[in-house]
C-alpha cells in the first residue's frame, strides 16, 4: 500500500519541516490529491495542515496526541450517537451488515461481539447479541491483540477490519451495502470533503438503512448557540453567511434527517441520523476553505450555489 511507505512521526516533524515541499508532494500523492495543486497559491496552507493531520493518523504509542481517542466502547457510542441507535443495532439479523467508518481500535464492534460474560457491563447498547456482520474501517491499522484474539477464536469472517485508505477510495463493489453505518469522531469529523464523504456513505446504505453520526463544535439547529462559542466545523453559503450543518443535510435528496442538538455539552454538538428513503441521492456540494489539523480538525466549507 503506497501510504504505508510514507514514514512520518510526530517527532520527525522538526526534520521534515526543513523539506516541506518534498514531504507535501509525497503525502499528497499518497492521498491521491496530486502534486499539481501545489502550484495554486491559495492551497499550500491547507496542504500543510493535511500533512500534519496525516501524522496524527500515523502516530503510535506516546506520540498519539491525547485528544486523538481511538478506543471508545459501544457504551460510548450509545451516548454519542442519536437515540434509536442501540435499538436499530439490536434489531439487525444475521444477514444484515454494520459499517463503522473511522473505527479506531474497533472496540465498539468488539463489545458488540463480546461473548456472554465479557459483554460491556453498562450502557444502553450493552448485551446486544452480535448477530449482524460488522466491518470496522480506519485509515491506519489500530487493531489490538484483543481484536486479533477474538477473530481467531470466532474462526469466521463476520467481523472484518479494513485499513490503509479512506472511505472514498473503496468501490461500492468492494464494500457492498449496509443496514447501519456509524461514525463517532470518524470520517464525518475529519474529512476534507464533507459532501463527497456523505455521498459515499449514502451510496453504501440500503434503502431504509440509517447513517448514525455526530459532529462537535457546530452551529446548532434552532439558534441554541452561545454567542461566545468557537466552532470547529463551519459552513457558509456563497455570500459567506453561516449555514447550520442540519440545514445543509436537509437539502440532500432521498433522505430523512434527524438532529438532536446538545447545546449544554462543552462544545455544541449535533447528533445526527440520516435515513435513506430512495436511491436517487444527491448531496449539495461544497468547497474547502480552511483545514487546521487537530482532534478533530478545524474546517470551514463554502456551499456551492
Contacts with ligand SAM by CB under 6 A lie at 57, 68-72, 101-104, 137-140, 166-167, 184-187, 190-191
Nearer to ligand SAM, 134 or 221 (CB): 134
Q: Which DSSP category does 61 fall into?
A: G
Residues 6+ apart with CB under 8 A from 291: 46, 49, 50, 53, 192, 297, 298, 299
Nearer to ligand SAM, 76 or 221 (CB): 76
Task: Give me the least distance between CB of 186 and ligand SAM, in Å please.
Answer: 4
Nearer to ligand SAM, 184 or 245 (CB): 184
Are 94 and 131 spatial neighbours (Cβ–Cβ below 8 Å)?
yes
Task: Give me the least distance between CB of 278 and ligand SAM, in Å please.
Answer: 25
Task: Give me the least distance between CB of 72 and ligand SAM, in Å please.
Answer: 3
Nearer to ligand SAM, 78 or 167 (CB): 167
Residue 113 Cα to chain centre, angstroms: 22
Which residue carries 466552532 as its cell?
A: 231
Pairing of strands 286-292, 298-303: antiparallel
Neighbours of 235 (CB within 10 A): 22
Task: Give me the least distance between CB of 262 and ligand SAM, in Å please.
Answer: 16
Among the residues of the chain, which ranges form H helices?
13-16, 20-30, 44-58, 74-80, 85-90, 107-113, 145-154, 172-175, 187-190, 194-203, 245-249
Q: Omega into 296 within 30° of 0, i.e. cis? A: yes
Task: Give me the least distance between CB of 102 and ligand SAM, in Å please.
Answer: 3
Task: Give me the least distance between CB of 182 and ligand SAM, in Å please.
Answer: 8
Closest C-alpha to 102, from 268, 213, 195, 265: 213
Task: Give me the least distance between CB of 264 and ligand SAM, in Å please.
Answer: 21
Closest C-alpha to 287, from 40, 30, 26, 39: 40
Nearer to ligand SAM, 133 or 142 (CB): 142
Nearer to ligand SAM, 183 or 221 (CB): 183
Nearer to ligand SAM, 68 or 231 (CB): 68
Q: How many residues does the chain have?
A: 305
Amino acid at each position: 500500500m503506497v501510504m504505508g511507505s510514507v514514514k512520518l512521526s510526530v517527532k520527525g516533524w522538526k526534520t521534515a519541516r526543513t523539506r516541506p515541499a518534498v514531504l507535501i508532494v509525497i503525502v499528497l500523492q499518497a492521498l491521491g490529491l496530486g502534486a499539481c495543486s501545489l502550484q495554486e497559491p491559495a492551497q499550500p496552507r491547507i496542504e500543510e495542515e493535511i500533512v500534519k493531520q496525516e501524522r496524527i493518523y500515523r502516530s503510535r504509542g506516546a506520540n498519539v496526541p491525547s485528544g486523538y481517542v481511538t478506543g471508545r466502547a459501544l457504551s460510548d457510542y450509545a451516548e454519542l450517537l442519536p437515540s434509536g441507535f442501540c435499538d436499530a443495532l439490536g434489531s439487525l439479523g444475521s444477514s444484515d451488515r454494520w459499517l463503522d467508518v473511522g473505527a479506531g481500535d474497533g472496540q465498539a464492534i468488539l463489545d458488540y461481539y463480546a461473548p456472554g460474560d465479557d459483554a460491556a457491563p453498562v450502557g444502553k447498547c450493552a448485551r446486544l447479541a452480535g448477530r449482524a456482520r460488522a466491518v470496522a474501517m480506519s485509515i491506519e491499522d489500530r487493531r489490538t491483540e484483543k481484536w486479533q484474539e477474538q477473530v481467531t477464536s470466532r474462526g469466521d469472517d463476520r467481523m472484518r477490519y479494513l485499513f490503509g485508505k479512506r472511505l472514498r477510495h473503496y468501490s461500492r463493489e468492494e464494500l457492498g451495502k449496509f443496514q447501519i453505518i456509524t461514525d463517532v469522531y470518524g470520517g464525518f469529523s475529519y474529512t476534507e470533503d464533507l459532501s463527497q464523504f456523505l455521498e459515499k456513505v449514502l451510496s453504501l446504505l440500503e434503502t431504509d438503512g440509517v447513517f448514525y453520526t455526530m459532529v462537535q463544535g457546530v452551529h446548532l439547529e434552532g439558534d441554541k448557540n452561545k454567542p461566545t462559542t468557537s466552532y470547529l466545523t463551519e459552513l457558509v453559503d456563497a455570500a459567506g453567511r453561516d449555514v447550520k450543518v442540519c440545514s445543509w443535510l436537509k437539502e440532500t435528496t432521498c433522505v430523512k434527517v434527524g438532529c438532536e442538538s446538545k447545546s449544554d455539552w462543552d462544545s455544541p454538538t449535533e447528533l445526527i441520523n440520516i435515513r435513506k428513503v430512495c436511491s436517487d441521492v444527491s448531496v449539495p456540494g461544497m468547497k474547502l476553505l480552511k483545514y487546521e489539523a487537530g482532534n478533530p480538525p478545524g474546517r470551514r466549507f463554502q456551499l456551492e450555489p
